[in-house]
Amino acid sequence: MDEMIPGIYEHYKGRKYLVIGTAAHSETLERLVVYVPLYDSPGPRLWVRPRSMFGETVEVAGKSIPRFRYIGQEIPDE
């Protein structure tokens, strides 16, 4: 994943998230993706994940798919 576009992303397990943008770790300068879940979650509202992990692929049923896929700018009706 070269460019991180702010917007709505779907996790391969089906949940949707709003990506706000990217940040840098203050000590290592590792790039992080800043996002919030678009579902009722008991945990924190603001999350970060290493950009490399956010953009990687996972294997599901023998098929390689993106961990998160960009689906647009509009929050979908659930």
Report the chain (78 residues): mean pLDDT per 10 consecutive residues: 84 95 95 94 90 95 96 77
Helices (H), 1-78: 51-54
pLDDT score of 49: 95
pLDDT at site 3:
72
Q: What is the CATH number of domain 7-71?
A: 2.30.30.320
Structure pTM?
0.86
Hey, where are the domains in the chain? 7-71
- DSSP E strands: which ranges in 1-78? 7-11, 16-24, 31-37, 47-50, 57-60, 63-66, 68-72
